[in-house]
Amino acid sequence: MGHEFELTDVAEVGATPEQVWEAIATGPGIDSWFMGRNEVEGGTGGVVRGAFGGYRPEYRIREWDPLEKLVYGSETAPDGRRIAYEFLVEGRAAGSTVIRCVTSGFLPGDDWEDEFEAMTTGGELFFRTLVEYVTHFAGRAAVPVTVFGPAVGDWAEAWARLGTELGLSARPAEGDRVRVAPVGREGVVYAVNDQTVGVRTADAMFRFVRGFQGAMVACHHLFTPGTDADVEEKTWGDWLNRVFG
């Protein structure tokens, strides 16, 4: 049967339209809040490419209006699957900006509900991370680190275990002050929903996501100059296996 969907996220941020455009319309900008490695061939008809966990999405740019509007999306697959992203950028007084992101498309099949839930909760985290990025790290480029851990059987237990690793007595909640044990950094939980947790420190954003196939996924953004992605992936892979294996 399948499912047609449209999701809208809106936020006013203390960043300029130029800073927001840099975040959404360049490869290093997208690297700093979305997922995996990204590159952008700008302009209408250009391409936005991603790479994470063996997945290589490619989206054609349909509208490119610098500092105001960006629209890109996939081609429609034979089964009808498609997805598109529309960003609207509106400058406000005193250097603030309103960002509106509309995600729309179609999920095929009778089992679309689980995929839609994962897309919705993941999308909430990514948009919140975009807001955190332009608010706290605008102009800086992150090294993205994406690591897939072992499959999790009991997610309530897994989130509680994550809380313990962050120095808490229960599952993380938005606003909690934490210590990211593997790297010894103090931070604050900036986003939580049923399938994700995001933590911001002075030089990183650490995100923990329930993967669609049931694995705990670490997808982080590290702003420290000289960060070695291979070393970080090894560190976080070992940690995921120790904590959730």
CB 88 within 8 A of CB 69: yes
What are the structure tokens assigned to 198, written together?
């995001």
Pull the structure tokens for residue 11. 């936020």
Question: pLDDT (tens digit, 9 = 90+) per residue, 61-70?
Answer: 999 999 999 9
The continuous run of DSSP H or E covering 22 comes out as helix 17-25
Of the pLDDT bands very low, low, confident and very high (cuts 50, 70, 90), residue 234 is: very high
Q: Are 208 and 221 in contact (CB under 8 A)?
A: no
* pLDDT for position 213: 82
Report the SS3 class of residue 58.
strand
SS3 content of the chain, % helix, strand, coil (to 5): 30, 40, 30
Residue 90 pLDDT greater than 90, yes or no: yes
Among all chains, which residue has been given the structure tokens 């598109």? 84
pTM of the model: 0.96
Q: What is the reported pLDDT for 212? A: 80
Residue 52 has pLDDT above 90, yes or no: no
Taking the C-alpha atoms of residue 57 and residue 239, their distance in angstroms, rounded to an integer, is 28
Counting Cβ atoms within 10 Å, is residue 113 exposed (0-12), middle (13-18) or buried (19+)? exposed
Domain 3-136 bears CATH identifier 3.30.530.20: yes
Helix or strand or coil: residue 111?
A: coil
May I ask the CATH architecture of the domain 143-244?
A: 2-Layer Sandwich (3.30)
Examine the pLDDT at 6 and tell me if it is beyond 90. Answer: yes
pLDDT for residue 158 is more than 90: yes
Distance from the first to the final alpha carbon of the chain: 36
Q: With cut-offs at 50, 70 and 90, classify the pLDDT of residue 1.
A: confident
110 compared with 101, residue with greater pLDDT: 101
171 confidence band (pLDDT: 50, 70, 90): very high
Q: Where in the chain is the domain with CATH 3.30.530.20?
A: 3-136, 143-244
Q: What tens digit of pLDDT does each residue of 116-144 get?
A: 999 999 999 999 999 999 999 999 999 99
Mean pLDDT of 141-167: 96
pLDDT category at 181 given cuts 50, 70, 90 is: confident
Asked if 163 and 169 touch (Cβ cutoff 8 Å), the reply is: yes
Mean pLDDT of 145-163: 96
CA distance 150 to 228: 23
